[in-house]
Amino acid sequence: MFDALLLTQEDKRTFAQVSQITEADLPEGEVLVDVAYSSLNYKDGLAVTGAGKIIRQFPMVPGIDFAGVVRESTDARYQVGDQVILTGWGVGENHWGGMAQKARVKADWLVPMPQGCDAAKSMMIGTAGLTAMLCVQALQQAGITPQSGDILVTGASGGVGSVAVTLLANAGYRVVACSGRVEQNAPLLKELGAAEVIDRSELEQDAKPLEAQLWAGVVDTVGNKILAKALAQMQYGGAAAICGLAGGFALPTTVMPFILRGVSLLGIDSVSCPFEKRKAAWEAVIKALPAHFYQQACQQISLAEVPDFANKIIQGQVTGRVLVKL
């Protein structure tokens, strides 16, 4: 028997409880992993609270991320004792996930632990950090350099946002962090490398089709009016890497930034990101993240604390990354 956070549903309400399950309860897969850590992402918050229709089949073990050691494998790519990471692929959504002391998954979904990393560190990064790296790489591939101008990061105190601020600042970009919690989080965001922290309210009013050109690049985790405003404020030839919807999935914009300023919208998905690109992004983010990030922007919780933190993350009350110890 081992511990798992089990989600059940009654009268359309989701309940989360630490329960005892067995290996026989786990779904099929080629690799059985002893999970050391999971992490809490916005999507886990939606799943655990039931605030978003993330899970359609109950009971379910949530946890879109985990890291641990291979206990059994029928796939030649993974041997007993190998350290592995899993993020995405619908794990924790439609296949039992990382918030359990064991997980059985498809070998195709795993990534070998990159050199210089361990389970705890990899889950401080997690889906959020991987996604932040994919956003930064997309901007770089679009030709946005530190000389191009300022980069706006929205939802800056969240998981994706805090890693993006750190990665961009470390790569020499001038980062403007946009946050709804300036008073609380400006000191941390500046420590992570933001040159400036602006209040979310500055970007929340309706956007004109085109406004003053402020941003060479954007990493957007919130969508909706804030993204629309940022797009109207993009410099000629700028690019926006968009990955999130913490402020809503709408995008009330016009074609103007795209057809008059040649702005590019770069969609970022980490869930089904192909293996080679995923592996390269993992190696890059581990290499690029400075040691101070892990100390300043991460906290550790137990499995029993997940439901409480799930509520907090969907209410926008979590700062940085949350590591879940199994």
Instruction: Name the residues that contact ligand NDP, by CB under 6 A.
Output: 41-43, 127-128, 131, 155-161, 179-181, 185, 200, 221-222, 226, 243-247, 268-271, 313, 316, 318
Smallest gap from residue 232 Cβ to ligand NDP (A): 17
Please report, as a single letter, which amino acid is at residue 276.
Answer: E
Determine the residue with CB nearest ligand NDP. 158
Pick 114 or 158: Cβ nearer ligand NDP:
158
In whole angstroms, the minimum distance from the beta carbon of 90 to ligand NDP comes to: 12
Q: Toward ligand NDP, which CB reaches closer, 70 or 273?
A: 273
CB of 175 to ligand NDP, least distance (A): 13
Alpha carbon distance 51, 268 (integer Å): 23
Choose between 69 and 195: whose C-beta lies nearer to ligand NDP: 195
Closer of 70 and 314 to ligand NDP (Cβ): 314
How near is the Cβ of 146 to ligand NDP at its closest, in Å? 23
CB nearer to ligand NDP: pick between 68 and 316? 316
Closest approach of Cβ 66 to ligand NDP, in Å?
15
With beta carbons less than 8 A apart as the criterion, state whether 216 and 149 touch: yes
CB of 157 to ligand NDP, least distance (A): 3
Whether the Cβ atoms of residue 44 and residue 53 lie closer than 8 Å to each other? no
Residues 158/128, Cβ–Cβ less than 8 Å: yes
6: which strand partners?
17
Q: Give whichever of 14 and 131 is closer to ligand NDP, judged by the CB atom.
A: 131
